[in-house]
Amino acid sequence: MKRRDAVRLLGAAALSPQAEAWARHDTALKGSASPRAPRGAGRLKQSVCRWPYRQIPLPELCRAALDIGLGGIDLLTRDEWDQVRQCGLVCSMAYAVNRRDFIATGFNDRANHAMLLRELEEALPLAARHGVPNIIAMFGNRRGKSDAEAIDNCVAGLNQIKGVAEAQGVTVCLELLNSKVDHADYQGDRTAFGVAVVKAVGSPRVRLLYDIYHMQIMEGDIIRTIRDNRDWIAHFHTGGVPGRHELDTTQELNWHAVAAAIADTGFPGFVAHEFVPTRDPLTSLREAAAVCNV
């Protein structure tokens, strides 16, 4: 199952913004289980995306994540936030809403702004109260728009929500996706496009979700791109190329080197595993966490 299908089924001062959000999460957990320090997690905080593991009940996935040494679960809806919090984990990336057209309907079209702003205005305070540091957002499908027009539209919309995000201490993360294999016509399919948007918005609470799987397909040159754009990235997703499978020797990237390059930038946020296992899911997840333990 691909994430777009899972979405349909669901209907980063003294501290950087991402590190500050993690501190806010600790405060928000009063009265519930405290987040464990991931065992052997090295310099990176790792988490796992929910949708490739939907066949595993969430409480079981949480227990496995804790045992592996992960710090959170990614891509959860509101009804799941407290479930992971009570297990001592963080929802490391949240959805604002359940919406079938979530990926295609983004900030690149001004006709979408009223709806997207309404969703985020409601979700950001809730995320802050539940110790959720990040909410995912999308650039949207191109539908004939030039990059220049789309960048202007995105900046106009995001400028209207950045104040709320800043006040709540929650980062709106716009995801970079490939338009070559998985998401035809998606406009935010290159790092330069995303950086142009978040740089123009100029808020520490509007940043990029850099999906390594997608950007390897579109651009390659992953390590240099991460180093050059470290200031604009708040979150990472993993996934092997080709096929979006395990981070192993069947894949064209050296994942240990990629993880080390991210850690070398001083990155304080989460690296979330978003690959589709082809073997025993939890064994594959444990192996991926070990590969990225730098």
Sequence ranges of the domains in the chain: 3-291
From 98-102, 138-142, 258-262, the region with the lowest mean pLDDT:
98-102
CA torsion angle 75 9 178 159 (round to 10): -60
Instruction: State the average pLDDT for the chain.
Output: 90
State pLDDT tens for residues 48-73. Answer: 999 999 999 999 999 999 999 999 99
- Binned at pLDDT 50, 70 and 90, residue 2 comes out as low
> Which CATH entry fits the domain spanning 3-291: 1.20.1250.20, 1.10.3470.10, 2.30.30.230, 3.20.20.150?
3.20.20.150
Q: Give φ, ψ of 181 to 5 degrees.
A: -120, -50
- What CA–CA distance (Å, rounded) separates 176 from 249? 25
**pLDDT at residue 26, rounded to an integer:** 43
- What is the rounded average pLDDT of the residues 247-270? 97
- Binned at pLDDT 50, 70 and 90, residue 17 comes out as very low
3-state class (DSSP) for residue 66:
helix
Indicate whether 201 pLDDT > 80.
yes
Percent of the chain whose predicted confidence (pLDDT) is above 90: 86
Closest CA to 117 of 153, 81, 80: 153
Indicate whether 130 pLDDT > 50.
yes
- Binned at pLDDT 50, 70 and 90, residue 34 comes out as very low
State pLDDT tens for residues 234-257. Answer: 999 999 999 999 999 999 999 999
Which residues, 6 or more positions from 71, have their beta carbon under 8 angstroms from its beta carbon? 35, 36, 38, 41, 45, 46, 47, 89, 90, 92, 270
Which residues, 6 or more positions from 232, have their beta carbon under 8 angstroms from its beta carbon? 194, 195, 198, 199, 207, 208
**pLDDT at residue 257, rounded to an integer:** 98
Bridge partners, residue 49, by sequence: 74
Indicate whether 173 pLDDT > 50.
yes
Closest CA to 234 of 137, 103, 163, 167: 137
Question: For the stretch 264-282, what's the b/e string if a residue is b when 16 or more beta carbons lie within 10 angstroms of its beta carbon?
Answer: eeebbbbbbbbbbbeeebb
Verdict on whether the full-model pTM lies above 0.75 = yes
